[in-house]
Structure 1
Amino acid sequence: MAVQSGKTGFRILAYISIGFAALGVVLPLVPTTPFVLLAGYFASKGSPAFAQWLEGHPRFGPAIEQWRHRRAVPARAKVLACSMMAMSWGVLLILGSPLAVLVVSGLFLLIVATYMITRPSY
């Protein structure tokens, strides 16, 4: 029974992730790629049929395939993600966040941006 409930949890997470990815297709500030990759991962654990559908999808499939085979991220996604991270940190600065918050969040965002920028692009 525990295996079935685990698969159900992964399936639910896959559907939630693809929902956010779909929002990212139509809303310019919501990232699509990270949610597609999450959906592909969760679907592979909880729903082989959904995973197969995602991998064959004309919009979402290429991102999953590029990540699995090359660990590559679309150049557009890199630019958007780094821009949004910089903007978020800027908002914290403008709102007068404490120095500790600025330093910790800045370091975290810098690490994430560095990781993303160093991945191959497609």
Structure 2
Amino acid sequence: MQGKRIFYLLLGWFSLITGIIGIFLPLLPTTPLVLLAAWCFSKSSERFHTWLINHKFFGPIVSDWQSNDGIPRKSRNRAIIFMWLGMAISSLMVGRFWATVGLVCIGICVSIYLLRMPLRSESNEDNH
């Protein structure tokens, strides 16, 4: 059991650090990596899980995901816009046809996923 706990702890930190790097690099998705870190910490360290939930920047990402209220429309739309901008920049920088096709396919799938997520009602948005 101890080995599994250490594995989740290391994976959680690796995921969180990679997510932080993803803030600055367009190809690394920050939100899914922060969510993975939260899940790993929930399996390995109550202290780090609590710290992440209460974090100024990453806490709202985890709280929105874990709540049944849905995500704010503004956050969803912003995520889609920045994802597509980041992928466009990456495609231009890489300049390979198949890389662009891959990014577009990923972008379409993630966009569909985000568009299908429940949205927080306007009255609940004011409470968060």
Report runs of 4+ in structure 1 exceeding 3 Å deviation: 82-92, 104-109
Whether the 8 Å CA contact 1:11–1:47 is kept in 2: the answer is yes
Partner of residue 77, structure 1: 79
User: Which ranges of structure 2 fall in alignment gaps of 5 or more residues?
Assistant: none
**Would the alpha carbon gap of residues 90 and 23 (structure 1) be closer, same or farther in structure 2, given more than 3 Å must change?**
closer
Distance 1:47 1:81 in 2: 31
Whether the 8 Å CA contact 2:87–2:103 is kept in 1: the answer is no
User: Which ranges of structure 1 fall in alignment gaps of 5 or more residues?
Assistant: none
Whether the 8 Å CA contact 1:33–1:77 is kept in 2: the answer is no
Superposition pairs for residues 88-103 of structure 1, below 5 Å? 95-97=96-98, 102=101
Distance 2:114 2:6 in 1: 30
Deviation at 1:89, TM superposition (A): 6.5
Amino acid at match of 2:50: Q
Deviation at 1:90, TM superposition (A): 7.4
Partner of residue 40, structure 2: 42
Q: TM-score, normalised by structure 1?
A: 0.71
Match of 2:66 among 59, 68, 85: 68
Deviation string 1:1-35 (CA, Å, 9 cap, x unpaired) is xx21111111111101110122234x152432222
CA RMSD of aligned residues (A): 3.0
Q: TM-score, normalised by structure 2?
A: 0.69
Q: How many residues were matched structurally?
A: 115
Report the 3-state secondary structure (helix = DSSP H, G, I; strand = E; otherwise coil) of the residue aligned with 1:36.
Answer: helix
